[in-house]
Amino acid sequence: MKVQTGRVSYLIKFLAVIATGFAAGLAGMALALLLHAIQHFAFGYSTAHLIDAESFLQGVSDSTPLRRIGAIITGGIVAGFGWWLLGRYGRPRISIKSAVSTPSSPMPAVTTTVHVLLQIITVALGSPLGREVAPREMGALAGGAIARRAGLNDDEIRILIACGAGAGLAAVYNVPLAGALFSLEALLLSFSWEKVFAAIVTSAIAAWTATLALGNESQYHFVSAELPHSFLLWACVAGPVLGLAAWGFRKSTGKARASVRANWQMPVICFLAFVILAVLSLYYPQLPGNGKGPVQMAISDELGYPHAAVLLGLKLLVILAVLRGGAEGGLLTPGLAVGGLLSLVLCAGWQLMCPGGDALSFALVGGAAFLAASMQMPLTAIVLVLEFTHMEHSYFVPVMFCAAGSFITCRILEKNYAY
């Protein structure tokens, strides 16, 4: 009887893992389609097809100035009033990390769903923040609900919440391995056969499910170049510099979020932040959106060094401005964009001493290293960029050295200098 009961228990857990993968995949797919629909309608491009070869940057660049300003300012109004009203009348939000650490306190379904939709709507309307938190939250919400419905214990609920979050990331970006690593490295903070199995299965199912509607294309188009021998030296030297910059990025974005006050000032400040973004977008259409456009330009060698420096400063400005206004969103793709642009600037100085190598390789490796430190997840960041770009194995050693130097430098600074 005990053997039979044990088999039933394993079957229930296995079915819960599969259900979480499908739920996260469907949620990620639906959110991505909603994002594309709003983007296409707001900026007036590719209105006949939600999934199209025309990028968001192309759509923004081709839109009329009036339409561009109108869409972005609308995003500011939605962000300011939306999060102000949600904070005032909604139940207190529970973050994914809090839900993982305290599985007895479930994420409130209505508040979390509204929070997710506000992120998708505002990013679609030009917010410079990332869209990856929304599917992670929906995946975590689904994982927790499925685990509780299946009668699992607290430790098993914790695992499914974390795996649901990673599966949401895997679905929206088609990065199954990075999604699994995110669950283990950033949320569960440990590895065991049971956790690894659940993370891999949920992320693989979620990524596959999302491709049924979103396609199986990689996020970025990158052509690997032959790396000079001096490139490894640059990776070692640039790592600590990027770690210092990532520490400053974490500190400044944390302060901007901590300065938000959920009162009448929130809609006003948020509106002004998006007005600044709207005006700047007339001259720099790369600024609206989560940063995918600038990253693609950086790794396609389409940016000169002066242009990259200007975009870097303005991208930081608008990210901090909207965070200070109370807008919510992720910092994954924005962090990759900031790191890639900063790496181009560093590349300009380096090539005065050691000429050689394509600028796109500097942007890719440096962007990955910056992301590893700014998000405090080195393994996930490396694999994420690998799945984003399908880079060749010759890049692995420079990426790992650069990411290690960046991550360690950032950790040392955080331990010795409080926020």
CB 285 within 8 A of CB 99: no
Give the three-class secondary structure for 115.
helix
Stated pTM of the model: 0.94
395: which 2 tokens?
A: 């890049």
Mention every residue, 6+ apart, whose C-beta is less than 8 A from residue 59. Answer: 39, 40, 43, 44, 45, 46
Size of the chain, expressed as the number of residues it contains:
419
One of 1.10.3720.10, 1.20.1730.10, 2.60.40.2220, 1.10.3080.10 is the CATH number of 230-416, namely: 1.10.3080.10
Domain range summary for the chain, segments of one domain joined by +: 2-214, 230-416
Distance between CA atoms of residues 368 and 4, nearest Å: 48
Q: Which amino acid does the sequence have at 347?
A: C
The rounded distance, in Å, linking the Cα atoms of 135 and 166 is: 9
Domains 2-214 and 230-416 share a fold: yes
pLDDT tens, residue order, the chain (419 aa) = 444 455 568 899 999 999 999 999 999 999 999 999 999 999 998 777 777 777 889 999 999 999 999 999 999 999 999 999 999 998 999 999 999 999 988 999 999 999 999 999 999 999 999 999 999 999 999 999 999 999 999 999 999 999 999 999 999 999 999 999 999 998 988 888 889 999 999 999 999 999 999 888 888 888 887 888 888 999 999 999 999 999 999 999 999 999 988 788 899 999 999 999 999 999 999 999 998 999 999 888 888 889 999 999 999 999 999 999 999 999 999 999 999 999 999 998 888 787 767 888 899 999 999 999 999 999 999 999 999 998 888 899 999 999 999 999 999 999 888 65
DSSP 186: I
DSSP track, 57-106: HHHHHHS-HHHHHHHHHHHHHHHHHHHHHHHHHSPPP--HHHHHH-TTSP
What's the per-residue H, E or C state across 113-165?
A: HHHHHHHHHHHHCCCCCECCHHHHHHHHHHHHHHHHHCCCCHHHHHHHHHHHH
Q: How far apart are CA 45 and CA 65, in angstroms?
A: 14
The crossing angle, in degrees rounded to 10, of helices 396-416 and 378-389 is 140
pLDDT of residue 49: 74
Class of CATH domain 2-214: mainly alpha
